[in-house]
Structure 1
């Protein structure tokens, strides 16, 4: 008999219990009757890595989580229930299963479960036909989501290692005559082969790398330079990383720009400390760009921020007051025109741990950290 898919792999009953306790604390704090989690991100968080997505680009999946003071229920339809039960949802949840054509049964169940109390939601809706508007989740719960538990951190480490291996394999195979679409397709395939969803794959060749910070791939040929960007998702967590390949040696100007960019990044990373605000990290990047004589660069692209169940849970800005805590993950992406550096880090007791640096990728050491550099290969043309 073949084994079932990885239901609960690397996931613990303790994690689910802790998540439910946080949700019930939000109920107690607000006096609400139920918490309704619609988004695929919150579904993954609450179920310790369960996946409710079918249409990958959809914000909400084929199931929801409903938590009351005394129950935790997966709301879904008869099409999805058995698959979710066998493959995605760990113990600790009951199921409410409705026929796919009778969606009103779900709404009736939610109202009954809330027992007249308010319904909190990650994607609140104005009404459900009965005039009952949902309320947003409290900010304190959103903050708790960003502090990852040890089991979540372990899943993130495994994801980061495999995503970075997929990146290395793709760019080592790339050729200058490939199109950007060829490169993106190879990257997506490398991720899928490792059981990772390509939430985002960007690819740019020589010309578009200089022109755009978000190069959605086209049929244009790569040429002498190429960059590949992943937002790689598994068990709901997203690991972000960017790498570049040069077909032929880098110029002196390119090497100098790369050195400057890595110093900018190092200044920002040094500011990631418990008790600091995310705004302080932004201002560190701003000062570093000015020191590099590129003061406009910070306005040409965002610098990243806290990562986790979104590629960016919160983007750093001059006024982002969110405090940094041990257990948070971060993905920053400082850039100049034509180059970017990006990895996903976890803040632990001993500082930042890089989750996405493949040991087979060329690197240099900047302020005690191994940082990726251009992969330089012989021109295959």
Structure 2
């Protein structure tokens, strides 16, 4: 396992150094939690879950690869997060200027690329962004584990839910189930019976969930995001609600059928737009974003009419078409030949076949 991590990092360092040469840059500086996880094969610089940057950053040149962190964090990172491919530069926590002096010493007057550039740095090259979104086999192994754990947590929580639970309780139970499996609960959205038809992005409240509820996860493990949505209904689903869920599954199928290597994200968006119109919901695409590519961010790129980025083999996607009171979402990987691997499928959750794929239906209790 350790050797495979080192090999993964070596391949990434090789590509980074090739990009440095091609762009005339002296170094690459990575500050974001997403890029840190990518470059370290799943390591984490996160302490504050809501922060985009962490307690360490990476500096890569043609000769060296450094992790820059302070004396509070260094030992833990070395012991628990970092493969052997990196050297450490440790500075006093109260003297950030020492870190900057070290970076200046290494880079001199050369051009520096960064994922979050300051005024003196340049934006990261598009080729590196594409590399980050195209999963290597070792990354896919980790991603499958994250997806399996996240969907298992979802099934466990909604199977135990009660109509008297508040939305806070359901969100908290979801977060607890994710933490118990070693995953960060980056997002746990909940809408109960009353709020479900009102809001697409329903953050939890103190209301009881009532007869039905939606739970949404963005679960992060080894830096990778598993995104999924499920519904629970106490009793039988009303016919009007069942019709909404059927329509959403058909709309999603149109997008999934179109997800193949070489297809642009705006083309998938257009497919979704047409599908909404064909099913009698022409305005629905304006009422919520439709998802897009995922991976080291919950959404690497959100698809819209202007996103011309091209899907590649081993790119992860998470679409979430929705109507008022119904939504569907799983995390897939685009495989060769246009097949899709569902990373968040759980055989213990009820499903129906749609366009040759098993898709989740509301759990009726």
Match of 1:13 among 3, 6, 28: 6
C-alpha distance in 1 between matches for 2:160 and 2:307 = 40
Correspondence 1:88 to 2:81: yes
| Equivalent residue, structure 1, for 2:336 | 349
Match of 2:359 among 346, 371, 374: 371
Could you tell me how far 1:9 is from its partner in structure 2? Answer: 6.2
C-alpha distance in 2 between matches for 1:259 and 1:338 = 12
| Equivalent residue, structure 2, for 1:3 | none
| Equivalent residue, structure 1, for 2:168 | 181
TM-score by length of 1: 0.94
C-alpha distance in 1 between matches for 2:32 and 2:10 = 20
C-alpha distance in 2 between matches for 1:209 and 1:96 = 50
C-alpha distance in 2 between matches for 1:9 and 1:207 = 49
Secondary structure (helix, strand or coil) at the match of 1:125 reads coil
| Equivalent residue, structure 1, for 2:295 | 308
| Equivalent residue, structure 2, for 1:36 | 29
Could you tell me how far 1:115 is from its partner in structure 2? Answer: 3.0
Match of 1:76 among 64, 69, 79: 69
Q: Is the 8 A contact 1:231 1:241 kept in 2?
A: yes
C-alpha distance in 1 between matches for 2:12 and 2:219 = 23
> How many residues in Structure 1 have an aligned counterpart in Structure 2?
364
C-alpha distance in 2 between matches for 1:255 and 1:85 = 52
C-alpha distance in 1 between matches for 2:318 and 2:171 = 21
Q: Is the 8 A contact 2:244 2:325 kept in 1?
A: no
TM-score by length of 2: 0.98
How is 1:123-272 mapped onto 2 (pairs within 5 angstroms)? 123-126=116-119, 133-272=120-259
Secondary structure (helix, strand or coil) at the match of 1:261 reads helix
Could you tell me how far 1:12 is from its partner in structure 2? Answer: 2.0
| Equivalent residue, structure 1, for 2:100 | 107
Secondary structure (helix, strand or coil) at the match of 1:117 reads coil
Could you tell me how far 1:11 is from its partner in structure 2? Answer: 4.9
C-alpha distance in 2 between matches for 1:41 and 1:26 = 19
Could you tell me how far 1:184 is from its partner in structure 2? Answer: 0.2
C-alpha distance in 1 between matches for 2:286 and 2:104 = 46
Q: Deviations over 1:76-106 (max 9, x none)?
A: 0110001000100001100000010111111
Structure 1, unpaired ranges of 5+? 1-7, 127-132
| Equivalent residue, structure 2, for 1:62 | 55
Secondary structure (helix, strand or coil) at the match of 1:219 reads coil
Secondary structure (helix, strand or coil) at the match of 1:216 reads coil
Q: Is the 8 A contact 2:228 2:329 kept in 1?
A: yes
Could you tell me how far 1:27 is from its partner in structure 2? Answer: 1.0
C-alpha distance in 2 between matches for 1:108 and 1:22 = 27
| Equivalent residue, structure 2, for 1:360 | 348
Q: Structure 1 residues 47-56 or 112-121, which shifts more?
A: 112-121
Q: Cα RMSD (Å) of the superposition? A: 1.0
How is 1:335-346 mapped onto 2 (pairs within 5 angstroms)? 335-346=322-333
C-alpha distance in 1 between matches for 2:61 and 2:108 = 10
The structure-2 alpha-carbon separation of the partners of 1:10 and 1:241, relative to structure 1 and needing over 3 Å to count, comes to: farther
Could you tell me how far 1:191 is from its partner in structure 2? Answer: 0.1
Q: Deviations over 1:195-216 (max 9, x none)?
A: 0000111011011111111111
C-alpha distance in 2 between matches for 1:318 and 1:101 = 46
The structure-2 alpha-carbon separation of the partners of 1:365 and 1:221, relative to structure 1 and needing over 3 Å to count, comes to: same
| Equivalent residue, structure 2, for 1:298 | 285
Q: Deviations over 1:171-208 (max 9, x none)?
A: 00100000000000000000000000001110110111
| Equivalent residue, structure 1, for 2:270 | 283
